[in-house]
A and B are shown apart, each in its own frame.
Chain A
């Protein structure tokens, strides 16, 4: 998926039959109308509130030590969660798409499950699993191992919530690509890891990258599940979204939205990374990805 659409591939684009101009204008107009109501206005509100007390106040709020601790915690979480889930996504997609086995449909459904689980439940299950009410949890407590109400709990809850993103991107893609290329390489004497590194990985890189971007966007923004397992200790177990909530309940609206705007920037940054990588890749490579 995510075939790069660039002017370089213009010949294909030109050939495209397109809708008449009036239709285009109407459709784009309707889309923009929707974006205005549902995306631009909330976004505008965030920034309007964030800067309601001026630039200096804005900078002050995002440089405040508790805010910085929250940013640190969120980035740490993302840095642990995304590689783990990306690795899992690739492995699962390999197992599911390159082989036939019984129970494939069930397995795929189970992979999707975290999407459909309420964030409230997602937090609750880890409290039920390792909370100190349970034998396992109280045993952990005696060993001095803290999971919930500290960083590991936040990481695990985020792992759960963002679990399916990479696998979900890769499975349809790899299903469409089939396994002929890999099998051909195998008959030519390539070994397992070579096949994966030289053939599969380049084929799926956009899907993988895209899955990782969605995964990190969601990890940055997750509120419900993390809120249940965090403990809300200022400067210690508050992620950015939780810090936003705290500031808001202190009636400190400008600071609250200022910190929220960091999240918007982080989200835009991840997409920016994607665009840059796409461009750079096209510059120094041939149309490897155009192979069937």
Chain B
């Protein structure tokens, strides 16, 4: 009798265990591919994966299942370095894939292996403001004015935030030709920032759902998504005249595809992103397609912005990261008293 109660617990526990034994959704005949990506691409890859699965089935008769993992770009890169066996990575910035190549999972020249610097789609940084644009924000100079509250995530923990920062810096540096002025501009900008969320989606929620801030700095594709999810009657997009060409790159992780025997599939998957069909999906998800035909077809969605590349202003990602975002870098300095 003394042990009756413990038996009960054991039985309950084993019942739970039995019902919860790990099982997989997929059957054995399915080939799997893991795409490790950053936050804002969820919707894009949902459509792309479905299209690719169909395409591959038709071409080879094989059924593929593409698993997705999303999170902050830097965190995702770290997970791959630490052993998350991604077949392909599709991240927010080249620096994160550089870090993966530093730990010998893919060669250092990875960015030359696919067309257009391995970026099948691009984006840029735009402003999202509340309906009617009550603070009359049209240019980069408007957002540093006193009394304008700006929402952008933390460049230390978010890839998108780094693009925001670099866009602002690049704008001023190109305008004045002076790095000192650019630094002062960025400093003034972050004075207007009341909260630095850890990721781009966090900032969107702060702005759209919690009603903070007058202007949100966002990826162009996220801006369109905000209008779709939270209502175009509440927000509107303001495209500045000049902004940065954000290039989120993709790459096959050699060591993992060799291990899984999925190299051919992984390469086909990334190459598929450059096909007209995939470029159409890219444009529909408000990323700027590389394919001129697709860009022309959806030109109405992509207002003319003068775009400068990161390399033009900052050299390359490694330098930009080291100068601006690493500990003791410019971003840290502007917050020191």
Chain A residues within CB distance 8 Å of chain B? 65, 69, 72-73, 75-76, 78-80, 82-83, 127, 130-133, 137, 141, 146, 148-149, 151, 197-198, 201-202, 205, 209, 212, 231-236, 246, 249-251, 273, 277, 281, 284-285
Contacts and interface: CB of A to CB of B under 8 A. Distances in A.
**Secondary structure type dominating chain A contacts:** helix
Given A72-B20, A249-B70, A83 B81 contact: no
A212 B9 contact: yes
A69 B103 CA distance: 33
B2 A231 contact: no
A87 to B, nearest CB: 11
Interface residues of B, number: 41
B224 interface: no
A42 B68 CA distance: 31
Contacts of A73: 20, 22
Contacts, number: 98
29 contacts: A65-B25, A72-B19, A79-B14, A83-B13, A131-B82, A133-B81, A137-B82, A148-B83, A149-B82, A151-B22, A197-B2, A197-B3, A201-B2, A201-B3, A202-B2, A209-B5, A209-B9, A231-B69, A231-B79, A232-B70, A233-B34, A234-B69, A236-B24, A250-B43, A251-B229, A251-B230, A273-B12, A277-B8, A285-B1
B201 interface: yes
Contact of A132 (B16, B21, B68, B82): B82
A98 to B, nearest CB: 19
A135 to B, nearest CB: 13
Contacts of A233: 34, 67-69
B70 A76 contact: no
A249 B43 CA distance: 11
Contacts of A79: 13-14, 16-17, 20
Given A232-B70, A235-B67, A82 B13 contact: yes
Given A79-B13, A80-B17, A233-B68, A141 B5 contact: no
A249 B16 contact: no
A76 B83 contact: no
A75 B82 contact: no
Given A127-B82, A131-B82, A141-B83, A72 B2 contact: no
Nearest to A78: B16
Given A72-B20, A79-B14, A202-B2, 15 more contacts: A72-B22, A73-B22, A75-B16, A83-B10, A130-B83, A133-B82, A198-B2, A201-B6, A209-B9, A232-B79, A233-B68, A234-B69, A249-B42, A249-B201, A284-B1
B71 interface: yes
A232 B82 contact: no
Contacts of B9: 209, 212
